[in-house]
Amino acid sequence: MLLSGATLIFVLVTGLVALPFLRRKGTASERHEIRTWVIGLGLAFPMTVLAALLAYGLVIGERLLPYPGDAVVEVAATGSRDGWIFTYSDAADRTTSAVLHIPAGRPVDVAITTEDVIHSFWVPRLAGKLDAIPGHVNVLRIEADAPGTYQGLSAEFSGPGYANLTFTVTAHDGAGWRAFLVGKTE
């Protein structure tokens, strides 16, 4: 939708740029020209488009926010230049590295921080990215619709080794998640 809207505006503008080469010199008065070009196309047109777009973005963004609910699973992700470490509030003794386990079909809040430089936690198919910043904890809401594995990436430049800073997210069905919590899954 963003793309088609953008294409439409692009075609409109390039068309307006091309036309004066094909037609004869304009004869409109300065006041009329200002009204058409500056006030109409320059002010009113973008304001309308942008207001709609902004409202759309805010509504979507609001829907992605982590609101408290009883079914929410809480996990923690700690970035480092050696890889990601994950811990689970439902199973205090479990720590995994490079693989994050979550239940499918339930909202999961990931508390993100780092032990060295800035990283960014990103699982493209589950949610947008959120930064891991020293001394701060950021919470990201993710949810996998179906069991399976999802590719995750660090998305903030962190020096040499940045390209290999990846992880996977394994989403379990109900039974698999219970098995993970009691330590039956590695």
Partner 1 sequence: MNALRRHRALSLIWASEPGIRGWFSTVNHTDLGRMFIVTAFFFFVVGGLLAMLIRAQLATPHSAFAGPDIYNQIFTMHGTIMMFLFAIPTFEGLAVYLLPKMLGTRDLAFPRLTAYGYWCYAFGGTMLLVSMLLGIAPDGGWFMYPPLSGAIHSPGINTDFWLIGITFVEISAIAAAVEITVSILKYRAPGMSMDRMPIFAWYALVTALMILTGFPPLILGSVLLEVERAFGLPFFQADLGGDSLLWQHLFWLFGHPEVYIIFLPAAGVISTVLPVMCRTTLLGYGWIVAAAVALAFLSFGLWVHHMFTTGIPHMGLAFFSAASTLVAVPTAVQIFAWIGTMWRGRPELHMPMLHILGFFVTFVIGGLTGVMVAVVPFDWQAHDTAFVTAHLHYVLFGGFVFPVLAGLYYWLPHVTGRRRFFRLGEFAFALIFIGFHVTFLAMHWVGLMGQRRRIPTYAPEDGWTAINLVSSVGSFVLAIGLAMVLFDIILNSVTAVRGRRDPWKAGTLEWAMILPPPAYNFASLPQVTGRDPLTRDPDLTSRLARGKGYLGRPRHGWRETLTVDVATGHPDFHVVYPSNTRLPIVMSAITGLFFLSLLLKLYWLTPLALAGVAVLACRWVWTLGRADDLPAQDIGHGLSLRPATATDRAPGWWGSVFLLTANATFFGSLLFGFAFLWTVAPGWPPPAWFTPSVLEICIGLAGAATGPIAIRWAIQAVRREANAMPALAIAFAAAGAIGVACAAMMLRAPDPGGHAYGATLTVLSGYGLFHAGLVALMIAVLIAKVRGGLTSTRRRSDFPVVGLWVDYLAATGTLILLVGHLPGFLS
Give the residues lining the site for partner 1 (CB under 8 A): 2, 6, 9-10, 13-14, 16-17, 19-21, 25-26, 28, 30, 33-34, 36-38, 41-43, 45-47, 50, 53-54, 56-58, 60-62, 64-65, 81, 116-118, 120, 124, 127-131, 133-136, 138-139, 153, 155-163
Residue 9 Cβ, how far from partner 1 at the closest point, in Å?
6
Cβ 168 vs Cβ 96: under 8 Å: no
Smallest gap from Cβ 26 to partner 1, in A, equals: 5
| Residue 69 beta carbon to partner 1: minimum distance, rounded to whole angstroms | 17
Coil, helix or strand at residue 48: helix
Other C-beta atoms lying within 10 Å of the C-beta of residue 76: 18
Nearer to partner 1, 98 or 117 (CB): 117
CB nearer to partner 1: give 99 or 153. 153
**Least distance CB 119 / partner 1 (angstroms):** 10
CA distances from 164 to 46, 77, 116, 167, 181 (A): 42, 17, 17, 9, 28
Instruction: Based on DSSP, count helices (H) and strands (E) in the chain, helices before strands.
Output: 4, 10
β-sheet with 99-103: strand ranges across: 99-103, 166-172, 148-154, 119-122, 130-132
